[in-house]
Chains A and B, each alone.
Chain A
């Protein structure tokens, strides 16, 4: 019987399994693709043919994305790259119609592109896309020149609007709740949805008019397309004032802009900074450079602000101590009686 020669296995290559991806490689791949998806588009709204280091983006993308019989690797990834930018810009257009109106289409579009290139989203919700915009405008004045202050004011107002829309509302305290409190120690917090603004332009009516002409925000989904309507008119009817004070707040779940007098603004700002009531008065008198407040006037202000629900209990909310009054229910009843016919 013929025997076959013994086989020397030591030199024969063992058929290797295809190399499997590691978790580290998965992370690296996702990082690489995210970089590609978030790269700014060209002026023709195409994917940039140059990679970050100046080499061919086609080669880089071909290294990790498969082509098919209709599209190259580059073209396939371009679909994601374009969708990313269209989605962000679309949302930005809806959130900042006022800024768009005051800056004009071309400058606004450039600002948006530069902003998202430097400040990509770091939140799970697109609601927060504009959270760094004011700081960005402050640090990039050329992008909004020559209307620097106007653009900054509008960006502040529009961010305050977003905050007022869906920030938390804590249990309000009424002016009655404050009656027995010691003004030396009483700290009132302002509602998280309320923003106090010191502006150089009277933009409130202007923004209301712009927003009235704007449609509803489109729903979040994985569906996207390039959709931007033009503003019907570039309204530019606003007045430069020396200083203009505004409270952006929410009442019955609608956002409102309430104009404030300088001393009202100073008092509310001092309360917002955490000063006890009496110290807030002192601060307000100093900063508003006004004569002493009239008690009757102050009472009226606090009644109005309390009726709007602007105050919440700074001490109790933070340390879960007892409310200012023994029972919220009792104080609510008193409040109701006071306003009943």
Chain B
């Protein structure tokens, strides 16, 4: 039974990101993995090895798509050509939901290839929600938006990040991909209490959770996805599950990628918390 109406895949358990250095291990050993998350853009090509590898994975595993370049918060219009390519991939993977970030990253057709922070304004929330609705209608698959790590804030902001996230998802009537590591990173960079963030978002919209490691410097934290998950982030994860109920969870590890077994072992630590959680949130 789903923990909430945006979380129809409670039984998905714990997944990991599909990464090239692990291909050989996956195809040879065929490890049991609840599901793989793919970066959509890595497979939005017209042919060749990427699609061959994806098809081999799809024969044996469940795959969920996660995007990095839809830029739902950009003031520019939705790129229909991009959506058409994405829809072709959605049909191929049969992803049960699709996620991308609550951010922007392009202006005047020029791409930064980064996940840039939003100004937390009503105008931005309105524009973003409209684009999410349009995207969701076109792709015909539920969308969840992910909170990003950020290193800068705007003078022009009219609300907190969690208020902005709430404003967007309520207006768009979409799900949340809650990245508890990103909340931790941003809470350090912007001096807020991460639990206040968690306690003030609409938990009933959490469709998926991301966990990851990061790199701490003296004056800031960078979201590098190249370390194990630290204890304070596990604590945030436990609280998120308390609020949202059992939720599909994914460990991100994108740089200095260790062996498949190490990554999978780190991800499966999440099961400890999931098993302690009631299906339906309190």
Contact = CB atoms under 8 A, between A and B. Distances in A.
Contacts of A121: 110-113
Contacts of A25: 123, 156
Given A26-B127, A124-B111, A219-B254, A167 B48 contact: yes
Contacts of A250: 47-48
A217 B41 CA distance: 14
A222 B111 contact: no
A192 B124 CA distance: 40
Interface residues of B, number: 67
Interface string B128-170: 0000000000000000000011011111101000000000000
Given A30-B104, A219-B39, A21 B123 contact: yes
B48 A193 contact: yes
Contacts of A145: none
A30 B48 CA distance: 36
A33 B112 CA distance: 10
B50 interface: yes
Interface in B205-254: 215, 219-220, 222-226, 252, 254
A291 interface: no
Given A27-B75, A167-B46, A219-B42, A77 B220 contact: no
Contact of A220 (B68, B152, B224, B226): B68
Contact of A84 (B39, B68, B113, B252): B113
B115 interface: yes
A225 B224 contact: yes
B74 A221 contact: no
A79 B117 CA distance: 12
A65 to B, nearest CB: 5
Most buried by B among A35, A120, A250: A120
Interface stretch (A45-53, A67-75, A258-266): A67-75
B82 interface: yes
A223 B225 contact: yes
A66 interface: yes
A76 B189 CA distance: 10
B55 to A, nearest CB: 11
B79 interface: yes
B114 interface: yes
Given A18-B158, A22-B123, A65 B153 contact: yes
A237 interface: no
Interface of B: 17, 19-21, 39, 41-42, 44-52, 68-69, 74-76, 79, 82, 101, 104, 106-116, 119, 121-124, 126-127, 148-149, 151-156, 158, 189-191, 215, 219-220, 222-226, 252, 254-255, 257
Interface of A: 18, 20-23, 25-27, 29-31, 33-35, 37-38, 63-66, 68-71, 73, 75-77, 79-80, 83-84, 87-88, 120-127, 164-169, 192-193, 216-225, 250, 253-254
7 contacts: A25-B123, A30-B104, A31-B108, A66-B153, A80-B114, A167-B48, A253-B49
Given A23-B126, A64-B155, A223-B226, 4 more contacts: A33-B116, A35-B107, A121-B111, A166-B45
